[in-house]
Structure 1
Amino acid sequence: MFNGLHVNPAYAGYKGEHYVQSTYRSQWGGLPSAPTTFTVTADLSANEGLMGFGASIMTDEVGPTKTNTALVTYAYRIQTGNSSFLGIGVSGGVSEYAIDGTMFDPNDFGDGELPEGRINVYTPNLNTGIFFHTPKFYAGFSAYNLIGKNSLEDKAVALAYHDVHYYLTAGALFPISDEVQFKPSFLMRNGGSGPTNLDLNGMFLFMDRIWAGASYRTNLKVGATELPTGLSSKNAVALILELFATEKLRLGYAYDVQTNALSGLRNNSHEMSLGYYISPRKVNMKNPRWF
């Protein structure tokens, strides 16, 4: 939610400054073995912003399953107008998929279908994307997990995760007053045989320092032919706050309220972000990077 590098390698270097960030997400808090995600990224800019480099480490944990991914990223920007650029990016690395059999609590012991101890498999990973931006508009498209699934055909532990995923995003920035701007945006995710997720976001920027807004997440039946007929389109509503605590330090927090089948359980989600500019943030730069 707080880092464009997670959904598009062409985003690398967009900020025009060196930036490191870490995020932690706890989903459906209170449920046993609920999902958690931890990431660390480095987003580096070179050649006056025309080149970008990135590195990221991500860990996803859901019950007895765990996914670790490490990626390196390169992006190159082509100037298409006075203040418009088209970035092309690629990232590659490796993913580890693991299951810890000791965490299972079977009704019948000695089930040969359950792993004994921890088992893991590795697969290469390749992702690519494009990212167009001006000072007031951006749009991007990317594809993740382009390779690696064939190497796991006999490893059912990973097949559910390593499908190709597509991301489409766009947004704009509208001035309301000298100290307030409004940024509507959307993010669409499609992958595997599940429903397509659509995030509709609205954020306000106050005094170039505080972002506050909300996001509505829904499910769409786009290209999915095997979904249950009664599948609800409702998913979640998120409240989002992000602020520049200092010229170098950026803090973010999001609170998800479930609107799906889990809504009655009050198991909501939390996401926290900590970002740091290695050089001071240039709030007075000619074209500030607010996306």
Structure 2
Amino acid sequence: MIKRIVFILLLQVFLLGTKSYAQDPHFSQFYAAPTFMSPSLAGSTGGVRLVSNYRNQWPGIKQAYHSYAVSADMYVNKYRSGFGAIMVTDQAGSADYNTTYLGLQYSYRIQLGENLQFIPGLQFTLGQMSLNRNKLIFPDGLVNGGQSSGDAYLAATKANYLDFNTSLFLYSRKYWIGTTVEHMMQPSYSFLDDQARTPMKMVVFGGMNVWRERVSRIEEPRRAAFCYRYERQHNFNQLDFGAYWYSRSLEFGAWWRGIPVFKNENLGTHYLDNDAIVLSAALVTGSFRFGYSYDIQTSDLAGFGGGAHEISIIIEFGDIFGCGAKYLDCFTKRAGLHFNKEQPRNLKIYY
């Protein structure tokens, strides 16, 4: 059974073949946007959770990228299922190019043994892309005194789409591995009526708890973990490695995003990906967590784009509806390694 699940995880890595590429919203604090990364993580705290994220990418470039995400998820113990909803908005450029979508998520926990759970997940998405025609400059506007309607170039300024994501997640007290395949319906992303399609995107992520030290019997232990993330979309590949350390109220993390091992292609040229060093810190008090991260650019935009600032807020409410896991230890902020073989546990992993 376990070998079959691992095979399915690996199979998803190779089931991607497309011909175009589109920009997707991105957050560097991967685990502080859990259901954005994988619908399998809906309900992973065993109770109710609210998450909000904001990213200001390349502030040194006027009107670059602003991304927002708000999500809510909960676990229903009776059905061993997690339910979630997420709304994401991405704003880019001087033409007010916006992408907004609402996703409904579902996950189901399958207990494989005392210390191992397998969680498939689904997400159905309804989205809209839009831009401001009045802020665009077209070729005829350059020869007509700056006046152009854009009618000859744009078929529309709004486009609605449906999409579908799937995910798989394998979790134990020591390690975790997951994969998410996005844009399985390959929706059109063009305003030019040329049927350009968003290619499928695959993300593989995982990590391992490598160190734990208990200071006292009443405080949560200090912990550390190593993590990785691999992304593939059409002819783009990216590999990230990171590490986390936290105590009872503080968390620190560092990632190298875009380790230069893949030769990507852009506009007919090939380049080694080397994107950024991401440093993060978070303050945790009770059920509230506030996180901040900064991307130090190591690419050709270093010193020009201004990196990226990112903020995350997570609030956990526990089992406020009486339908989550039955014991309260599941809902504590540091319950990621607690275990009860008769009840699903909090699957919180490092932010």
Distance in 1 separating the partners of 2:251 and 2:38: 22
Per the alignment, in what secondary structure is the counterpart of residue 263 of structure 1? coil
Matches within 5 A, 1:169-208: 169-178=205-214, 179-193=221-235, 195-207=236-248
Q: Are 2:289 and 1:253 aligned?
A: no
Distance in 2 separating the partners of 1:204 and 1:48: 34
Q: Is the 8 A contact 1:99 1:157 kept in 2?
A: no
Q: Is the 8 A contact 1:97 1:158 kept in 2?
A: no
Deviation, 1:232, is 3.5
What corresponds to 1:267 in structure 2? 306
* Distance change (3 Å), C-alpha of 1:255 and 1:48: farther
RMSD across aligned C-alpha pairs, in angstroms?
2.7
2:91 counterpart (61, 67, 88): 61
What corresponds to 1:165 in structure 2? 201
What corresponds to 2:332 in structure 1? 282
Computing the radius of gyration from Cα coordinates, the structure with the larger value is: 2
Deviation, 1:260, is 0.6
Structure 1, residues 152-175: CA drift from partner, whole Å, max 9, x if none?
387448977722111101101122
Distance in 1 separating the partners of 2:41 and 2:288: 20
Structure 1, residues 127-179: CA drift from partner, whole Å, max 9, x if none?
00101101221100110111152xx3874489777221111011011224224
Per the alignment, in what secondary structure is the counterpart of residue 332 of structure 2? coil
With structure 1 as the length reference, what TM-score do the two structures score?
Answer: 0.88
2:171 counterpart (133, 142, 145): 133
Structure 1, residues 33-70: CA drift from partner, whole Å, max 9, x if none?
21110000012111168310000000011112110010
Q: Percent identity?
A: 21
Per the alignment, in what secondary structure is the counterpart of residue 35 of structure 2? helix
Per the alignment, in what secondary structure is the counterpart of residue 198 of structure 1? strand
Higher share of residues assigned helix: 2
Q: Are 2:116 and 1:80 aligned?
A: no
Per the alignment, in what secondary structure is the counterpart of residue 261 of structure 1? coil
Distance in 2 separating the partners of 1:158 and 1:16: 45
Deviation, 1:23, is 0.3
Distance in 2 separating the partners of 1:188 and 1:121: 30
Distance in 2 separating the partners of 1:220 and 1:191: 16
Distance in 2 separating the partners of 1:80 and 1:32: 51
Q: Are 2:95 and 1:45 aligned?
A: no
* Distance change (3 Å), C-alpha of 1:171 and 1:260: same
RCO comparison, higher one (Cα < 8 Å, 6+): 2
What one-letter code is carried by the residue in structure 2 that aligns with 1:282?
Answer: T
Distance in 1 separating the partners of 2:194 and 2:88: 16
Unaligned runs of 5+ in 2: 1-28, 215-220, 320-330, 340-345
With structure 2 as the length reference, what TM-score do the two structures score?
Answer: 0.74
Distance in 1 separating the partners of 2:303 and 2:195: 31
Q: Is the 8 A contact 2:189 2:197 kept in 1?
A: no
Q: Are 2:90 and 1:89 aligned?
A: no
Unaligned runs of 5+ in 1: none
Q: Is the 8 A contact 1:60 1:67 kept in 2?
A: yes
* Distance change (3 Å), C-alpha of 1:112 and 1:283: closer
What corresponds to 1:101 in structure 2? 133
Q: Are 2:283 and 1:243 aligned?
A: yes
Distance in 1 separating the partners of 2:168 and 2:133: 40
What corresponds to 1:210 in structure 2? 250
